[in-house]
Amino acid sequence: MTFGRRLADAFDTRGRLCVGIDPHPGLLDAWGLTDSAFGLEKFALTAAEVLAGTVPVVKPQSAFFERHGSAGIAVLERTIAACRELGALVLLDVKRGDIGSTAQAYADAYLHPASPLAVDAITVSPYLGFGSVQPMIDTALAHDRGVFVLAMTSNPEGPQFQQAATADGRTVAATVLDEVASQNAGAEPLGSVGVVVGATVPREGVTPSFDVNGPILVPGYGAQGGTVDDMRALFGDASPWLLPSSSREILQAGPDREALHAAAVRAADDVAGLDRR
């Protein structure tokens, strides 16, 4: 079963909220945990146990595990396994982008089922040229997994590149969206190649088409200020396959498990206002 099909099924049974597991040092401290591999494991596995049985997608941020070295990567492996055992799809936020054999090595690390770090999907950066991420897309599709390609991000530096005009007059971001749409042509009910578009990206000027026949990961919902109304206004007819993502606003409700679960339920109820039909 393709990643796109599994995600569509998860939307139907679990709603459309993606919750990030971001073991930021400040959150570890807020939970009364040390900034160590031990604190990391307690934080990540608690979040996985509370959230992964409820939401459709869990998104660990790889960098916060990597900063603890090999012990942190071991915790990431256990977190991925715990989330998948509880039925959540795991989208690893790694934003990898490279060329040739190195891009293929990243693909093998995260998308080949034989890897201990294998997940359902990863985030990738196309800003070495869209062809640079093709090995990761090809590997994902070969193993019924997915990728989410950065298109329009909310950080203030992003527009310098993403909104630059190409020779044919389109923005660079628009060319990324068009390339993803080509990858998903003919896929039903949903392609396995998604895009990442921030909930708070500026809407001034011409808005490109977000009809990519694939999922749209929307970070920036919640604590970063993005709302359901913002998403509805930005994406319009493309709203049916949005995957709003929230991390800090939900995670700061821990370490109390009931409070953490309640925060996720509130967010899930809110984004349910994005009617897919």
In tens, the pLDDT along 144-185 reads: 999 999 999 988 898 889 989 999 999 999 999 999 999 999
pLDDT digits (tens, 9 = 90+) for 36-50: 999 999 999 999 999
The pair phi, psi for residue 130, each rounded to 5°, is -60, -35
**Domain CATH for 243:** 3.20.20.70
Q: Catalytic pick from 24, 78, 84, 95?
A: 95
Q: Confidence class of residue 277 from pLDDT cuts 50, 70 and 90?
A: very low
Amino acid, res. 13: T
Q: Could you tell me if 153 and 178 are in contact, meaning their C-beta atoms sit under 8 angstroms apart?
A: no
Average pLDDT over residues 65-70: 98
Q: Is the pLDDT of residue 206 over 60?
A: no
- Supply angle C-alpha 117, 82, 104, rounded to 5: 15
Q: Which tokens hold the place of 185?
A: 């042509």
* Nearest C-alpha neighbor of 4 from the set 150, 137, 175, 113: 137
Residue 50: its H or E element:
helix 37-51
Give domain status of residue 276, yes or no: no
d(CA 92, CA 75): 13
- Evaluate whether residue 277 is within a structural domain: no
Residue 139 included in any domain? yes
Tokens representing 207? 């808005």
Domain that holds residue 78: 3-271
pLDDT average, residue stretch 252-271: 96
Is residue 95 among the annotated active site residues?
A: yes
Residue-wise DSSP of 87-121: T-EEEEEEEE---HHHHHHHHHHHHSTTSTT--SE
Residue 89 lies in a domain: yes
Residue 62 lies in a domain: yes
**How many domains, the chain?**
1
- Domain assignment present for 48: yes
217 closest CA partner among 232, 203, 200, 199: 199
DSSP code for 61: B
